[in-house]
Amino acid sequence: MPLNTPGGKLAIFELFKPGRQPDGVIPALVHGAKVMDFMWDPFDNSRLAVGCDDGRMAIWYIPSDGLKEQTNEPDVSIAAHAEKIYFVRFHPLAKDVIATGSYDLTIRIWDLSTETEKYLIHLNPAQIQILSFSWSPFGSKFAIACKDGKIRIYEPRESTEALVEGKGPSGVRGGRVIWVLDGKFIVMAGFDR
């Protein structure tokens, strides 16, 4: 969980040690920038990806016996974007594949085994901001909900342009998009005035 302290600290608490944490310094991952999003790797439960507001993506490998002290050097640090990262999302079926999205209006898909960008999608400036990102169940497509009130579906291996776009929620507050029923439908939730 992110800690409300300077430096973008992310603490990892072990479920078998419930209760109040001891006073003093809590062992944490220190990023030096605000943590925007994070996700555990579905193929390696010791690997954690973190997106920060300085545009960097940090990859951490957490020891099996947990954190013992504050750590400020990630195992991998990638200058992923020119501006703050909205999201980091591991691919549901492909190991070492992760997507990041940013205020720089790009979505990038990375191969973590080589630490290289494989696909780059430039969004239209009219889309303003990505509210939500979701891989399809089989990972060939992804959907985004944007602040311009539209949902867009992409198939990055085929095109950098949206396959289809449709009306989403009219509000500018955080909407969410998710694939359901084996990827045949998309559910969108949002907030309007």
For 43-65, how does the pLDDT look when each residue is reduced to its tens digit (9 = 90+)?
A: 999 999 999 999 999 999 998 88
Claim: this prediction has a pTM higher than 0.85: yes
* Closest among 113, 119, 93, 100 to 47, alpha carbons compared: 113
* Closest among 114, 98, 108, 97 to 130, alpha carbons compared: 108
Residue 23: pLDDT above 70? no
Residue 51: per-residue pLDDT: 94
For 98-141, how does the pLDDT look when each residue is reduced to its tens digit (9 = 90+)?
A: 999 999 999 999 999 999 999 999 988 766 688 889 999 999 99
Residue 127: per-residue pLDDT: 61
Residue 108, both tokens: 């990038």
- Which residue's structure tokens are 């608490």? 13
Long-range contacts of 98-106 (CB under 8 A, 24+ apart): 98/39, 98/49, 98/57, 99/133, 99/135, 99/142, 100/51, 100/57, 101/130, 101/133, 101/144, 102/55, 103/129, 104/55, 106/81
Residue 2, both tokens: 């992110």
Q: How confident is the model at residue 27 (pLDDT cuts 50, 70, 90)?
A: confident
Q: How confident is the model at residue 2 (pLDDT cuts 50, 70, 90)?
A: confident
Sign of CA dihedral 35, 40, 155, 134: negative
Rounded to 10 degrees, what is the CA torsion of 91, 112, 51, 53?
A: -130
Mean pLDDT computed over 64-70? 81
- Residue 175: what residue type? G
Kindly report the backbone phi and psi dihedral angles of residue 29, in degrees, each rounded to the nearest multiple of 5, phi listed first.
-90, 125
Give CA–CA dist 87/52, Å, rounded: 9
Mean pLDDT computed over 7-19? 78
